[in-house]
Amino acid sequence: MGVVAALPYGLLTGGLLAASWGLLRAGSMTVVPLYDADAASDPAALSTVVAVSLAAFAVATLAFTVLRAAGRDSVVVVAGYGVAVLSVALTTAWRARAYE
């Protein structure tokens, strides 16, 4: 049952890694829908920050997926995953401000 419950997180991990890889290969934020090219001072650096952030989300989600599949998802694990995701989100917002 743990593997079935972990499947959506595994799919999310794959999507995050694909998005990160796509941004790194593009080298610019122009591939992102709803992106305003005039809003950023350095679109290449911003795309790198966002790509690294997506990769960090993927690593945290992969770790959570493995623990969930193994049946070791306790309150501490879920809270730790939440703190990791929030930390990455806040760090990304802080770093992205430098390029706006």
pLDDT tens per residue across span 37-90: 677 788 788 888 899 999 999 999 999 999 988 888 789 989 999 999 999 999
Residue 13 has pLDDT above 90, yes or no: yes
pLDDT at 57: 95
| pTM (predicted TM-score) | 0.85
pLDDT at 86: 96
| Alpha-carbon distances of 58 from 1, 9, 73, rounded to whole Å | 22, 9, 17
CB 23 within 8 Å of CB 57? no
Q: Rg of the chain's alpha carbons, rounded to an integer?
A: 15
